[in-house]
Chain A
């Protein structure tokens, strides 16, 4: 493929150009035996146990940002949705909507990044689709990925949080707000002295390490678009328990704090793409924490709060100065097109 080539409407026609794109790009990078068959469906092997199935679309703007790109995000997003449900992610689909005129070189970079991330996470991209729309009808590239995984045995309750009870501890695996501020600074070309990098990463390795050794994880959620605050506000909504959160225990990088202060954002509601919030039994919290801290994606993990009997349905933040305030889902979107 030549460097100056661009996507043409013909690349989505199903004809010769589509065929070239599939074999020259997607099959080349995503290479695996299931994809190579190139049927209308991927034929998956027999899987045992319960299956988890999820889908997500990615429209991030800009498509390349410090610490990642839309391709890496599209893999990590779906892998993480499976992992936090207690599943082992196995197979992914990838569908592309491309804008006419999109540089092929950029598409290649994105596809390569998807392939790398999939390999790191140990998942296979086994089926896909490409459509091209006229210039101006979409913004460069949109990606949808769906994923299938098998549930770790005994973790049926993790999605519904049915076993969460007062006394349980809340853990997050590191600094919050990095992704949102990285995209924000790339989008607005902000000149920041110490640039923020997105935390975009597949968490299935980290999570599986914990699940293999501990049976006391009661709830997990990746704190993406709405940030940590939204996950916790959602978790206790309509429940018989409340949450106490300790502001000075929540890891926020200095530069992210500075940007949030400057731009009027609350780091609690800024997007992450490599952060899992766990609710675990109090007795095993310290053990789980130290195990998380041994993993490269968990070295800055911290216990940030606990489940309480008081104020059911509400999340309270004990502020860094010792006051308290409520944490609720934001009314509007803090930042559109963040993932």
Chain B
């Protein structure tokens, strides 16, 4: 496969592995903050290729995993309102809320539909003028422009039966919070997809303020190995900086048009992250100019205060303090078919990745 096989070239990868081994003298822990990286690392068995000095840990890179249970509870409450259709990405459908999940509600008759993009949700709104269509907008800077564009399209088309329930979040605040909390890491494997939108400049504060390196990485094994090599070199030479390994997709300044659309529709707000609590200006709410499309302003529902499950350590796994295999529930009470925590449900969750690819 052209454009893929080049990045899976065993000889090049093993030669990089040898170089990493040769140049790595000090212990280094690197955190990936993108669920796509978590999956790719486990799928290709990358940890096996690294010397003992290099350790990889997963951070809060899976949007579904960091989202609070009360978001699911509220989405379920919306689904029970008359004439409402909930539209959602498939990832969210099995995530447990406090007492139920969207797929259980769907089986009980709630009108919940899986869509692949916000455009599908707009089409459903167009085809069902007598229904109110709520799109569950979730994800980091990668998917937020899509939701924003959906809202702008709905406004232009006068589709006032369409709204978005936003759980969108942005990546830099948790990356700062983890270092502030003293989590033991020496560099970030920077999120490749987020950075196609934001550019790499948004991470400049990490070397400047905290003295840690960031290398924005692609998703193939050679990408990841090269990024690890680059981070190792920064660390060994004590020259932390922001570098782009994934230069075939990411520019320092990002995608101006997508950022403009996000700025037009969203505003920053404080938001709750599993494991990290409330982080200032870390979430994206819909601003007042688009209040007509903000599900939270249109619909009034009450949900019970949230209960997180006892024993589930998703929170500290998302901070890179524990590995999924260290959780008592992992692989026993918590499996992909019977998940306790969100990290086991999402395709990008650290627990799901470990369960699928890495169970000793």
Q: Out of A261, A321, A322, A326, which one reaches B357, CB within 8 Å? A: A326
- The reply on B359 being an interface residue by CB < 8 A is yes
A325 nearest CB neighbor, chain B only:
B357
B44 near A261: Cβ-Cβ < 8 Å: no
- The reply on B337 being an interface residue by CB < 8 A is yes
- The reply on A248 being an interface residue by CB < 8 A is yes
Complex contacts, B13 vs chain A, CB 8 Å: 321-322
A197–B289 Cα distance when bound, in Å, is: 53
A331 near B336: Cβ-Cβ < 8 Å: yes
Q: Out of A314, A317, A323, which one reaches B49, CB within 8 Å? A: A323
Q: Mark B34-47, 1 if CB is under 8 A from A, else 0.
A: 00000000111111
- The reply on A23 being an interface residue by CB < 8 A is no
Q: Which of B1, B14, B358 has the most CB of A within 10 A?
A: B1
Q: Which of A311, A320, A332 has the most CB of B within 10 A?
A: A320
Complex contacts, B1 vs chain A, CB 8 Å: 254, 257-258, 261
A248 near B358: Cβ-Cβ < 8 Å: no
Q: Out of A261, A318, A323, which one reaches B47, CB within 8 Å? A: A323
B8 near A321: Cβ-Cβ < 8 Å: yes
State the Cβ distance, B95 to closest chain A Cβ, in Å. 14
A320–B10 Cα distance when bound, in Å, is: 7
- The reply on A238 being an interface residue by CB < 8 A is no
Complex contacts, A28 vs chain B, CB 8 Å: none
Q: Mark B1-26, 1 if CB is under 8 A from A, else 0.
A: 10010001010011001000000000
- The reply on B48 being an interface residue by CB < 8 A is yes
A322 near B47: Cβ-Cβ < 8 Å: no
- The reply on B356 being an interface residue by CB < 8 A is yes
Interface residues of A in 54-108 (CB under 8 A from B): none
B48 near A323: Cβ-Cβ < 8 Å: yes
State the Cβ distance, A265 to closest chain B Cβ, in Å. 12
Interface residues of B in 313-360 (CB under 8 A from A): 335-337, 347, 355-360
Given A248-B10, A257-B1, A320-B10, A325 contacting B335 (CB threshold 8 A): no
Complex contacts, A319 vs chain B, CB 8 Å: 43-45, 221
Interface residues of B in 188-239 (CB under 8 A from A): 221-222
State the Cβ distance, B342 to closest chain A Cβ, in Å. 15
- Residue count of chain A within 8 Å CB distance of chain B: 21
A327 nearest CB neighbor, chain B only:
B357
A328–B337 Cα distance when bound, in Å, is: 13
A317–B17 Cα distance when bound, in Å, is: 19
- Residue count of chain B within 8 Å CB distance of chain A: 27
- The reply on A324 being an interface residue by CB < 8 A is yes
Q: Out of A264, A318, A332, which one reaches B337, CB within 8 Å? A: A332
B44 near A331: Cβ-Cβ < 8 Å: no
Given A321-B8, A322-B14, A328 contacting B45 (CB threshold 8 A): no
A192–B128 Cα distance when bound, in Å, is: 33
A328 near B49: Cβ-Cβ < 8 Å: no
A325 near B337: Cβ-Cβ < 8 Å: no
B339 nearest CB neighbor, chain A only:
A331
B10 near A328: Cβ-Cβ < 8 Å: no
Q: Which of B43, B45, B46, B47 has the most CB of A within 10 A?
A: B45
A325 near B10: Cβ-Cβ < 8 Å: no
Given A261-B4, A320-B8, A326 contacting B337 (CB threshold 8 A): no
Complex contacts, A328 vs chain B, CB 8 Å: 355-356, 359
State the Cβ distance, B227 to closest chain A Cβ, in Å. 15
A31–B259 Cα distance when bound, in Å, is: 69
A331 near B45: Cβ-Cβ < 8 Å: no
A258–B47 Cα distance when bound, in Å, is: 25
Complex contacts, B355 vs chain A, CB 8 Å: 328
Q: Out of B8, B10, B45, B359, which one reaches A324, CB within 8 Å? A: B45
Given A257-B1, A258-B1, A326-B358, A321 contacting B337 (CB threshold 8 A): no
Complex contacts, B222 vs chain A, CB 8 Å: 321
B355 nearest CB neighbor, chain A only:
A328
Complex contacts, A320 vs chain B, CB 8 Å: 8, 10, 44
A322 near B4: Cβ-Cβ < 8 Å: no
A321 near B358: Cβ-Cβ < 8 Å: no
Complex contacts, A325 vs chain B, CB 8 Å: 42-45, 357-358
Q: Which of A320, A321, A332 has the most CB of B within 10 A?
A: A321
A254–B3 Cα distance when bound, in Å, is: 13
Q: Mark A296-339, 1 if CB is under 8 A from B, else 0.
A: 00000000000000010010011111111110100110000000
Complex contacts, A317 vs chain B, CB 8 Å: 45
B336 nearest CB neighbor, chain A only:
A331
State the Cβ distance, A266 to closest chain B Cβ, in Å. 8
B336 near A323: Cβ-Cβ < 8 Å: no
B335 near A331: Cβ-Cβ < 8 Å: yes
B45 near A321: Cβ-Cβ < 8 Å: yes
Complex contacts, B335 vs chain A, CB 8 Å: 331
Complex contacts, B356 vs chain A, CB 8 Å: 326, 328
Interface residues of B in 103-140 (CB under 8 A from A): none
B9 nearest CB neighbor, chain A only:
A321
Complex contacts, B10 vs chain A, CB 8 Å: 248, 320-322
A191–B248 Cα distance when bound, in Å, is: 26
Complex contacts, A261 vs chain B, CB 8 Å: 1, 4
A261–B43 Cα distance when bound, in Å, is: 13
Complex contacts, B44 vs chain A, CB 8 Å: 319-321, 323, 325
Complex contacts, B45 vs chain A, CB 8 Å: 317-319, 321-325
Q: Which of B49, B337, B357, B360 has the most CB of A within 10 A?
A: B357
State the Cβ distance, A229 to closest chain B Cβ, in Å. 11
Complex contacts, A258 vs chain B, CB 8 Å: 1
Lowest 8 CB-CB distances: which A-B pairs, in order? A323-B45, A331-B336, A325-B357, A323-B48, A324-B45, A321-B221, A325-B45, A319-B45
A321-B8, A323-B45, A331-B336 are known; give 19 further A-B pairs, CB within 8 A: A254-B1, A264-B347, A317-B45, A318-B45, A319-B45, A321-B10, A321-B45, A321-B49, A321-B222, A322-B13, A322-B45, A323-B44, A323-B221, A324-B48, A325-B45, A325-B358, A326-B358, A328-B355, A328-B359
A-B contact pairs, 13 of them (CB 8 A): A254-B1, A314-B359, A318-B45, A321-B10, A321-B45, A321-B222, A322-B13, A322-B17, A322-B49, A323-B44, A324-B45, A328-B359, A331-B335
Binding site for B on A (CB under 8 A): 248, 254, 257-258, 261, 264, 311, 314, 317-326, 328, 331-332
